[in-house]
Amino acid sequence: MYDRLKGFRDFYPGEMSARREVVDTVETAAARYGFREIGTPHLERTQMYVDKSGEEIVEELYAFEDKGGREVTLTPELTPTVARMVVAKQQALSKPIKWVSTRPFWRYEQVQQGRFREFYQTNADIFGSSEPEADAEILAFCADALTDLGLTADDFEFRVSHRDILGGLLRSFDADVDVADAVRAVDKSEKVEREEYLGLLSDAGLSYDQAGEFADLIDRGDLDEIAEFGGDNVEAAVENLRNVLAAADDFGAGEFCEVSLSTARGLDYYTGVVFECFDSTGDVSRATFGGGRYDDLIESFGGQPTPAVGVGIGGATLQLLCQRAGVWPEEELATDYYLLTVGDTRAVASDIARDLRAAGNVVEADVSDRSFGAQMSYADSVNADTVVIVGERDLENGEVTVKDMASGDQTTVPVDDFPGDRDAPTYEDYE
């Protein structure tokens, strides 16, 4: 026996069926907004991530030297890859560029609730628009995806912030502040005690009193107060955040949004509005997913200046939210018909199966030469709605038996009338 690797998961058919339903729901919501599906490689050059995040990132990667001597890694995220793709065909792509994909990623990190070493994400990005409507459309798509899954405003909330408000406020203090370090401290603020948080802000350059004033200011989240305190340093950012929230309201996502300036997103490439989705009840302790604006990344990859905004929806944390809210799909198999054969009836059973499949039904038939009882047990195990018994005696009378598995009721039907002109005939059609 071989053990499964830590941080990697097996998905058996029942759970995979539920996962497929959720992914299809999310991707269908994205398609309604005009996001086009892309496919991306699972292997990239390690240097692409080092250039973006520094040498220390290698410790978190599944990185290795390939047979050609190239330093490569399993992809830990999608943003650098799509940035590379945009740069490669930037002049030929119609703007705005709206892409979506669902695929696995890999990070060598500590395994915990909702976090694995192999994980799955749906990513949606808009390139080429700096307008508030682009940010708001990302929020609206996310809201539609969640409500399509059966979640409501009582189940989740979008905590919306702005990196330039945080940076502007920090620069308003009479101190030599390392803004990037201070923003990373804000990102950790809800995971550490206040004294440790203030210590991190002090390490970034604020005095202890300034750290407390800054922390209180963003905790209150009063945009009027912030605009007055920060003045020119935050004026444009506050206006942009208000415009995004107004557009989100028009797009139907406003009821899910709240200003939360302690939401910072730790990655340095974020430049404007950022947001995270949380379980409203607090039962799921970590963010379900997050995203934001990253206007400088395409240029840093060698492309023309291109504003961008996007979101990454994690499959594991979304599952936790749906399960907590009671809307995770049933993890069970679904089969419309099972064709049970008795005797030398394969040819007739196969004709019926082909007709039912052509109409879009899920149809199974015996491929193991099992007994009547074994076939019935198997049909029950795959949750067949209807069993069609094709037996030699019935065929002598030109009939088959149609059995409803839920009720146990059954009846005989002329073989030429099953399925006949019906796409999905059931026992009730022949009572």
Answer yes or no: is 323 a known binding residue: no
Please state, in angstroms and as integers, the Cα–Cα distance from residue 285 to each residue in 93, 110, 140, 280, 389, following that order: 40, 16, 23, 10, 51
Residue 12, marked binder: no
The answer on whether 112 is annotated among ligand-binding residues is: no
Structure tokens at 427: 């026992």
CB neighbour class for 68 (10 Å; exposed up to 12, middle 13-18, buried from 19): exposed
Closest by Cα among 288, 326, 323 to 115: 288
Angle between helix axes 163-171 and 208-220 (nearest 10 degrees) is: 150
Residues 6+ apart with CB under 8 A from 33: 98, 137, 140, 141, 144
Query: With contact defined as beta carbons under 8 Å apart, do 130 and 238 qualify?
Result: no
Determine whether the annotation assigns residue 125 to a binding site. Answer: yes
Alpha-helical runs (H) found in 253-383: 297-300, 315-325, 346-358, 372-381
Helix (H, G, I), strand (E, B) or coil at 371: coil
Which string of DSSP letters, residue by residue, matches 42-78? SEEEHHHHHHHH-GGGGGGS-EEE-TTS-EEEE-S-S
Residues 392 and 400: their CA atoms lie apart, in Å, by 9
- 107 annotated among ligand-binding-site residues: yes
The rounded Cα 162 to chain-centroid distance in angstroms is: 22
Residue 78, annotated as binding a ligand: yes
Binding residue per annotation — 286?
Answer: no
155 annotated ligand-binding residue: no
| 77 Cβ neighbours under 8 A, 6+ residues apart | 105, 312
Question: Considering only CA atoms, which of 98, 120, 126, 112 is closest in space to residue 22?
Answer: 120
79 among annotated binding-site residues = yes
Contact 56, 363 (CB under 8 A): no
- Which residues line the annotated binding site for L-histidine? 77-79, 107, 121, 125, 265, 269-270
Residues at the binding site are 77-79, 107, 121, 125, 265, 269-270
